[in-house]
Amino acid sequence: MDKKQEFVDHIRNAYQPKGDFIHLGAAMLDGETFADAAVKIPLKTMNRHGLIAGATGTGKSKTLQILAENLSQKGVPVLLMDVKGDLSGIAKPSAGEEFLHERHQKIGFPFEASKSPVEFLTISEQDGVRLRATVSEFGPILLSRILDVTPTQEGILAIIFKYCDDHHLPLLDLKDLKKMLQYVTNEGRENIENEYGRISSASTGAILRKIVALEQQGAERFFGERSFNVTDLTRKDENGHGYVNIMRLTDIQDRPKLFSTFMLSLLAEIYTTFPEEGDSDKPKLVLFIDEAHLIFKEASGALLDQIESIVKLIRSKGVGLYFVTQNPTDVPSQVLGQLGLKIQHALRAFTAKDRKAIKLSAENYPISEYYDTKNQLTSLGIGEALVSALDEKGRPSALAATMLRAPMSRMDILTDTELEELIFQSKLRPKYNEEIDRESAYELLNKKIEEAEAKEAKEKAEAEALEREKASSKTSRKTSGKTQGAVIKVLTSATFIRGVMGVLNKLLK
């Protein structure tokens, strides 16, 4: 048996799942594509998380598009983080250009154009179904991780949340939280300290400054009502195809804190809301996080620990996470270690640092007798990638340099008119885009402070009136005494004069 046939048999044994699968493409060796060496990813392993990496322009976004639309056709809903704004075309079928058919001839099955049901979501100024979460839902622990506060400050946040729960003060948005911080520092400090312990004004001031910094990244649009129900991410259309939910994030690339806040909140909500799935035949939901380095950029150690914990645990809920980034080193090693599917596009070696990164990336893949992984990483063409997956029993499959299939949907973006039309037709938009600002901690505390100030003003006025009354009474008594003394003095003087005159009259007689 020659080397090529051995290679074909090697790949077929590694990528022939018995259950449902996604046909990713065909394996390559020494620049030749083998149509009978199909690379198929078991659908049941798609909740084991994954990585799509590669240099700019090597086809990462198209690979994301391929996986998303194929999952949708299999009835698996998807959430895409569209940071660059180049994924909207999944809502329209491909024009079916000739080069797409030629590509599919090489990989052994015909090209078919298709579209997916799409929902556009937003957490920023862009149009779409608005995603929000209340501060109460976020909770003190998660909020502490995002704000990167000290243990003392975390304790103060816990007290504030407990106080609000005990006194029925809803924490809905950031202005509620800021008002609470001001309240515990000033008007309500004595009352709260008597019940929960001492609170440092320096600590509350530090927390307040961090909240203001978060607001400056646009977080005030994310916190509030109506809260997004994460089960709405798992919808299917009338054909049984899963919705592809596209989160529009092109205007927050320079606001990593907002992006990581949203992602951590979403993952935590999914984990607490979704039931345990066990070992199912396909995922319940798959999330693709484009430009994944934004999550980890400037993240504290506590925040990274929280992300790592969620990545480990969320798989049991039937949810898969896929990180899309330029270099695998953008993702922390403790997260990389949890990933099952790895699709590595070409890397470029322009500097010594690049060569070192390529060497490290090559070490993340299984050793192969057919590939020099380090050299293969720099020689892959556009739309080609090294693939390492898990089989249906969770074992790592053989490494396969793969010519990937083409997206069935449009590879270009939607026009503004097409985008507006799809957003306007959304069934979720009327539900979540209504502005709600019900009475919460901000209004209730303002009312409480106003009532306290009014009571204090009334008591002060009554005290002042009493003082005036006392002063007036005292003045009246003093005046009366003076008058009486003067009269007595006058009378005494007159009596004395009359006595003297009487004595004189007697003597004269």
The answer to whether residue 35 is domain-embedded is yes
Taking the C-alpha atoms of residue 67 and residue 287, their distance in angstroms, rounded to an integer, is: 11
Asked whether residue 477 carries a pLDDT value surpassing 90, the answer given is no
The pair of three-digit structure tokens given for residue 454, joined into one six-digit string: 């009014």
Full-model pTM = 0.81
pLDDT (average), residues 198-219: 88
22 and 126 inside one domain: yes
Confidence band of 482 (pLDDT split at 50, 70, 90): low
At 489 the pLDDT is 53
The answer to whether residue 433 is domain-embedded is no
Q: Which residue has the higher pLDDT, 383 or 464?
A: 383
At 480 the pLDDT is 57
CB burial readout 394-404, b (16+ within 10 A) else e: eeebbbbbbbb
Asked whether residue 495 carries a pLDDT value surpassing 70, the answer given is no
Cβ neighbourhood burial of 168 (10 Å; 0-12, 13-18, 19+): exposed
Confidence band of 441 (pLDDT split at 50, 70, 90): low
177 and 321 inside one domain: no
Which structural domain, as residue segments, surrounds residue 196?
A: 135-220
Asked whether residue 358 carries a pLDDT value surpassing 90, the answer given is no
Number of domains in the chain: 2
What is the DSSP annotation of 329-398?
A: GGS-HHHHTT--EEEE------SHHHHHHHHHHHTTS---SS--HHHHHHH--TTEEEEE-B-TTSPBPP
Q: Which of 20-24, 52-56, 130-134, 333-337 has the highest mean pLDDT?
A: 20-24
Q: Which of 118-122, 290-294, 462-466 has the highest mean pLDDT?
A: 118-122
At 469 the pLDDT is 79
E strand or H helix at 504 = helix 441-508
- Single out the residue in 220, 251, 273 at which a domain terminates: 220
Confidence band of 502 (pLDDT split at 50, 70, 90): low
At 333 the pLDDT is 82
154 and 256 inside one domain: no
Whether the CB-CB separation of 68 and 358 falls below 8 Å is answered with no
369 and 267 inside one domain: yes
- Single out the residue in 356, 385, 408 at which a domain terminates: 408
Asked whether residue 145 carries a pLDDT value surpassing 90, the answer given is no
Q: Which of 268-277, 300-309, 354-363 is predicted least confidently?
A: 300-309
249 and 340 inside one domain: yes
The answer to whether residue 369 is domain-embedded is yes
Confidence band of 299 (pLDDT split at 50, 70, 90): low
pLDDT (average), residues 315-336: 88
**Model confidence pLDDT, tens digit, residues 36-56:** 999 999 999 999 999 999 988
- Cα distances (Å, whole numbers) of residue 326 to 51, 62, 316, 351: 10, 14, 28, 15
The answer to whether residue 33 is domain-embedded is yes
**Model confidence pLDDT, tens digit, residues 80-128:** 999 888 899 999 999 999 999 999 999 999 999 999 999 999 988 889 9
Instruction: Indicate the average pLDDT of the chain.
Output: 85
CATH code, domain carrying 50: 3.40.50.300
208 and 323 inside one domain: no
At 442 the pLDDT is 67
At 326 the pLDDT is 87
Taking the C-alpha atoms of residue 293 and residue 413, their distance in angstroms, rounded to an integer, is: 23
At 423 the pLDDT is 93
Q: Which of 141-145, 336-340, 410-414, 451-455 has the highest mean pLDDT?
A: 410-414
pLDDT (average), residues 304-312: 81
Confidence band of 353 (pLDDT split at 50, 70, 90): confident
Written as one letter, the residue type at 431 is: K
Confidence band of 508 (pLDDT split at 50, 70, 90): very low
206 and 320 inside one domain: no
Helix residue spans in 131-247 (DSSP H):
135-138, 140-147, 151-166, 174-185, 189-196, 201-215
Confidence band of 473 (pLDDT split at 50, 70, 90): confident
164 and 207 inside one domain: yes
14 and 49 inside one domain: yes
Question: Torsion-angle region of residue 21: left (phi > 0), alpha (psi -120 to 50) or beta?
Answer: beta
- Single out the residue in 358, 376, 408 at which a domain terminates: 408
167 and 147 inside one domain: yes
The answer to whether residue 465 is domain-embedded is no
The answer to whether residue 19 is domain-embedded is yes
Confidence band of 487 (pLDDT split at 50, 70, 90): very low
178 and 240 inside one domain: no
